[in-house]
A and B are shown apart, each in its own frame.
Chain A
């Protein structure tokens, strides 16, 4: 039997908010819920979708962190920001394609879902998956998912030109191989603009 992984089946979500409550009851961040329960086209539909951290293989939130505060463990879980390092700049909040990190104003720190690392690292289910009544959030083996779900589990995404592979799977119709998200262009891309001579990222890249 393979190792257990986190699966999201958006179509099963009934919007009951159980995951939101369970997340807030987690001991590592008591009182603060780090899961997002999104409404989809509220005017037309009652459909909701839970969003936990997808645990990207190449976490953009950690890449853009100027304070080196977001770390990924050896088993691929991207941790919440380190309290002594986080400067509350919200770079990660803006960069995450899934919109997962949350900036907590009261403590001036970013907090994000870490897949209940205290639980999942000892092979327990994350808090949200333990309570989800429709199993839209599941912590299970690939075999169990194959046996019980109609769709197929994938972990590849494409946001505009950026391809992202995640540790968390989503269940999609069988014909889908990758979730493609088209971006709405609201301003010119940086490559169309004149290079900024004071761009710190460019300066760093030129350092040998």
Chain B
């Protein structure tokens, strides 16, 4: 629009420079696609912060979820585990968490979560190997809970046992 026509056609209005809001919403394609350095730095900074926060949140959530347990629970009479090489299944800390207690050939009483750390199959006591055997993928844990064969790489969570009179109590669970 030339100036003369503008004066004729719009006597009251002034010729104005591009208003600020128009600079933020340019009509030109390249202006619309333009990313300022400040916007870029802001995006990178906030993005990095968000990523870091998400990582920390994951760590905290994981710690909270795997806190272990300090519940006390009667798991049965001690007499059922008197013989060395015998084992007993129980649930701890809740009814949905299967565990296994074993009297080792050395006479020690140990207990672990029965859930294999590979793909969550139930491990059983294998007398011949003297360890906890997972039949799904032939994983084997020794009686210290450490993986010694097969796919599992993490040790089994250990359950702490206590004998009170003739009864056995599970008193805590350690997550490694």
Could you list which residues of chain A lie within 8 angstroms of chain B, going by C-beta atoms? 58-59, 62-63, 68, 70-74, 79, 158, 160-163, 191, 204-205, 207-208
Are B12 and A191 within 8 A (Cβ)? Answer: yes
Q: A59-B27, A71-B32, A79-B29 are in contact. Are A163 and B20 (CB under 8 A)?
A: no
Cross-interface CB contact of A73 among B5, B10, B21, B29, cutoff 8 Å: B29
Cross-interface CB contact of B9 among A68, A73, A161, A204, cutoff 8 Å: A161
Q: How large is the interface on B (under 10, 10 to 19, 20 to 34, 35 or more residues)?
A: 10 to 19
Q: A70-B27, A74-B28 are in contact. Are A163 and B21 (CB under 8 A)?
A: no
Task: Give the residue name and chain of the A residue nearest to B20 (CB).
Answer: A207
Could you list which residues of chain B lie within 8 angstroms of chain A, going by C-beta atoms? 1-2, 5, 8-13, 16, 19-21, 25, 27-30, 32
Are A204 and B19 within 8 A (Cβ)? Answer: yes
Cross-interface CB contact of B21 among A79, A162, A207, cutoff 8 Å: A207
Q: Could you tell me the distance in whole angstroms from the C-beta of A43 to the nearest C-beta in chain B?
A: 33
Cross-interface CB contact of B1 among A62, A162, A204, cutoff 8 Å: A162
* Chain A residues with CB under 8 A of B16: 205
* Chain A residues with CB under 8 A of B9: 160-162
Distance between Cα atoms of A163 and B101 in the complex (Å):
92
Task: Give the residue name and chain of the A residue nearest to B33 (CB).
Answer: A71
Task: Give the residue name and chain of the A residue nearest to B13 (CB).
Answer: A191
Cross-interface CB contact of B29 among A71, A204, A208, cutoff 8 Å: A71
Distance between Cα atoms of A185 and B156 in the complex (Å):
87
Q: Could you tell me the distance in whole angstroms from the C-beta of A205 to the nearest C-beta in chain B?
A: 6
